[in-house]
Amino acid sequence: MDIEQIRTFLSVAANGSFLEAANRLYVTQSTVSMRIQRLEAYLGVVLFKRNRSGASLTLQGRRFLRHAKSLLVTLEQARHDIGLPSRFRASITIGARIALWETLLPEWIGVIRQRMPDISICSDIGFEENLMRSLIEGSMDIGMMYTPQHAPGLLVEHLFDETLVLLSTDPGRPWPNDEYIYVDWGPGFYAQHSNRYPHIERPAQRVNIGWLAVQLTLANGGSCFLPVRLAQPLLRAGRLFHVPDSPQFILPAYMVSARDRDSEVLQQVLDQLRMLAALERQKTY
């Protein structure tokens, strides 16, 4: 049994498919099958039920899942720790949505680095699907996002609520209009948006991150919903304006981490993030 077999097992479990796991791992499907077969031979059990719809864990596979996560975390941590300069006692990988990296998380990482200078931090950007997969596979320690999934062995904690406001380059123009850019802030925003505007036509423009909506709006004119903390600098600079009588939507932000991860350093970093989130909740923008 080696680390690639464990990583492959976790990828198949996370994706429910040998083919999708192969795509995610950048190997052939036959390589995935061979790794799983060797792992099953080593353990002496069948880990997956194969069928036309994909692959699902057997009872033995579900039992091995928790151990596989622990093994991968331990091996990855060992690899990182061995390669770390002596001035660092551990490394932590933190991933988040790009909107949370804008202004907010760089400040938080700065605080953690000041208070824990002997910790090496790897920072990643991703969408919920990729962040959750990395957390499940054990290659990421902490993920911050808007629409987390609940998975065995993972702890989901509410951090704070973003307030989304509607901004425009031309607040005097009747809204909605063809220059409106819909930002996919997740299913929660979609539900609130649909309830508030049940008869609105499909917008001419749709993007998956707020940063891109800002670039398009500033370049070509238009409107979009943005978190207040990201909107404030644009409002102060007179580059964007509030749309009169427009609603505000709430977008919760969450932190996801391993529930049973026995790591003193990880718990210390989580405590720091919880404290910083509590301070964020007290802010008024």
Q: Tell me the average confidence (pLDDT) per consecutive run of 10 residues in the chain, 285 residues long.
A: 89 91 92 94 93 89 88 73 74 94 95 94 92 86 93 91 96 91 94 92 92 96 96 95 94 91 87 95 83
Q: Which pLDDT belongs to residue 35?
A: 94
Fold category of 3-78 in CATH:
Arc Repressor Mutant, subunit A (1.10.10)
Residue 58 token pair: 């057997």
The whole-model pTM stands at 0.72
Fold category of 85-156+253-282 in CATH:
D-Maltodextrin-Binding Protein; domain 2 (3.40.190)
Q: Which pLDDT belongs to residue 80?
A: 64
How many CB atoms are closer than 10 A to CB 115?
12
CA–CA gap between residue 251 and residue 152 (Å, rounded): 24
What CATH number is given for 161-251 in this structure? 3.40.190.10
Q: Which is nearest to 179 in space by CA: 205, 213, 152, 155?
A: 205
Q: Which pLDDT belongs to residue 81?
A: 61
Q: Which pLDDT belongs to residue 219?
A: 96
Q: Which pLDDT belongs to residue 104?
A: 94
Q: Which pLDDT belongs to residue 99?
A: 94
Pick left, alpha or beta for residue 272 (phi over 0 → left; psi -120 to 50 → alpha; otherwise beta): alpha
